[in-house]
Chains A and B, each alone.
Chain A
Amino acid sequence: MKVSRRDLLKRACLLVPAGAVVLSRRLLGAGDKAPKKKYSLKGHKYTFIVDTRKCIGCGACVRACKLENEVPKGFFRTWVERYTIGKDSKVTVDSPDGALHGFQELESVPLTEVAKAFFVPKLCNHCSDPPCVPVCPVGATYQSPDGVVLTDPNYCIGCAYCIQACPYGVRFKNPDTRTADKCTWCYHRITRGLLPACVEACPTGARQFGDVADPDSPTAKVLHSERVDVLRKELGTDPKVCYIGLDTEVR
């Protein structure tokens, strides 16, 4: 077969785009791998449910959180409080080292003097109307389009206004980065379809997390069948962490 120079050039010209298509599919990994579903920032309604009746105060959540988020020693993104109400109606609240190593029996109130006692896990409430966001002078703390309140450690100037503004005391200044830090509901996990580390670790189901935009999700079912409350409702912050079995003493 004889090929004229003109034909050869013509074919070569056709080969270039064809090769480019094949190569680009190779490079982009299309074809052999299903495209990774991209996370959409829209259409989520994340809700965290804390069932205080199920919490056994083991501190597995606190340890998991520390591990996952490299929370410095002495600081907590989540912690567990113990409320002990004596027969004399005196309320004792304690959280030794944030419950990092669980709890020991309370020495100040003997077992025989206890009227009731329970554990209350605490974490960022991811308020729908967060008081910590508008006070930031540089826009380093914000509510993401999917409703999670996040901080931007690369932009934070460490003024600590947000730490003052939070009525729940969930924020702290990270001594390593010198920036504001707090629970993110493990944003890097939930956007990958995983559960927050504390929920994963909880052995009793006292912590539940889900997207209630889907009315069939287990979280939505709990939300619609149980009597839930939020912390300090009177502040109008509209928290997205719902508690089951709260007592009036819990702040």
Chain B
Amino acid sequence: MTERIEFKDIRHIIHVAVILLVVIAGFIIARSASVPKSFGQYGHYRGRSIEERMNLPVVFQSIQTCLDCHEEESGEVWVGSEYWQEGVHSVNACENCHSKCKEHVERMKANPDLKEFVITKDTSDKLCLTCHGILAARPKVPEPYDHKKHLEEHNMKDGQRCIECHVPHYPAI
């Protein structure tokens, strides 16, 4: 014995199917509206985010950037010269002692004849001592250094600044 399916039964199925379709369509529309386009491009995240990260600006300047312009002996300080290259501070990024380097580079590139500088020159002993002061935890390279003893040894009065005897760009004497 077979059951007969009447047309009025099929109508119920169509109703359910239509509702289901509307729900699915609604979900797809809502999803495509709320999920960013690049989501899932590489994985479960916004693929464009990678590009956004890559396009952030570079601020801290490499030594090479500075040397592009300061290649020759520059005044008293020997930056970029043979001395500097062989000196112990050639591994020391310029920006460790000079700040606002990015602004300086941009300004000098735009107008090399400027005579007003935004870049700073930190001439304090404090700066030298962040790297050279004696600390128990500090390894022996560079030679940890006792300012007071140092000055006594060299017969100098207290308060004489490091850069009066050491050229910051070529400090070894």
Residues from chain A with Cβ under 8 Å of B92 in the complex: 203
CB atoms of A67 and B59 under 8 A apart: yes
Name B43's closest neighbour in chain A (CB-CB): A142
Chain B 39-69 against A: per-residue CB contact (8 Å), 1 yes, 0 no? 1001111100110111111111011000000
Residues from chain B with Cβ under 8 Å of A83 in the complex: 137
A141, A154, A194, A203 — which one has the most chain B CB atoms within 10 A of its CB? A203
Given A54-B139, A68-B60, residue A203 in contact with residue B54 (CB < 8 A): no
Question: Is B135 among interface residues, defined by CB-CB distance under 8 A?
Answer: yes
Residues from chain B with Cβ under 8 Å of A118 in the complex: 137, 139
Residue among A53, A56, A152, A197 making CB contact with B45, cutoff 8 Å: A152
Residues from chain A with Cβ under 8 Å of B133 in the complex: 102
Question: Is A57 among interface residues, defined by CB-CB distance under 8 A?
Answer: yes
Residue among A105, A141, A145, A184 making CB contact with B136, cutoff 8 Å: A105
Residues from chain A with Cβ under 8 Å of B91 in the complex: 203-205
CB atoms of B60 and A200 under 8 A apart: yes
Residues from chain A with Cβ under 8 Å of B45 in the complex: 139-142, 152, 155
Residues from chain B with Cβ under 8 Å of A117 in the complex: 135-137
Q: Which segment, of A11-19, A29-37, A58-66, A122-130, faces chain B? A: A58-66
B39, B43, B89 — which one has the most chain A CB atoms within 10 A of its CB? B43
Question: Is A119 among interface residues, defined by CB-CB distance under 8 A?
Answer: yes
CB atoms of B50 and A56 under 8 A apart: no
Distance, CA A203 to CA B136, complexed state (A): 19
Question: Is B131 among interface residues, defined by CB-CB distance under 8 A?
Answer: yes
Residue among A141, A155, A197 making CB contact with B36, cutoff 8 Å: A155
Residues from chain A with Cβ under 8 Å of B50 in the complex: 41, 144, 150
Residues from chain A with Cβ under 8 Å of B36 in the complex: 155
Residues from chain A with Cβ under 8 Å of B96 in the complex: 60, 63-64, 201, 203
Question: Shortest distance in angstroms between B95's beta carbon and chain A's nearest beta carbon?
Answer: 7
Interface residues of B in 94-139 (CB under 8 A from A): 95-96, 130-131, 133-139
Given A53-B139, A203-B93, residue A139 in contact with residue B58 (CB < 8 A): no
Question: Is A188 among interface residues, defined by CB-CB distance under 8 A?
Answer: yes
Residue among A56, A67, A203 making CB contact with B139, cutoff 8 Å: A56
Distance, CA A203 to CA B92, complexed state (A): 5
Residue among B54, B136, B142 making CB contact with A191, cutoff 8 Å: B54
Distance, CA A63 to CA B93, complexed state (A): 12
Question: Is B13 among interface residues, defined by CB-CB distance under 8 A?
Answer: no
Question: Is B172 among interface residues, defined by CB-CB distance under 8 A?
Answer: no
Distance, CA A150 to CA B45, complexed state (A): 10
Residues from chain B with Cβ under 8 Å of A165 in the complex: none
Name A59's closest neighbour in chain B (CB-CB): B130
Question: Is A90 among interface residues, defined by CB-CB distance under 8 A?
Answer: no
Question: Is B14 among interface residues, defined by CB-CB distance under 8 A?
Answer: no
Given A139-B39, A152-B46, residue A111 in contact with residue B60 (CB < 8 A): no
Q: Please list the residues of chain B having a beta carbon within 8 angstroms of any beta carbon in chain A.
A: 36, 39, 42-46, 49-50, 52-60, 62-63, 89, 91-93, 95-96, 130-131, 133-139, 141-142
The 4 closest A-B pairs by CB, nearest first: A117-B137, A102-B130, A142-B45, A188-B56
Other than the given A197-B60, A200-B62, A205-B91, 4 more pairs (CB < 8 A) read: A58-B131, A60-B130, A117-B137, A203-B96
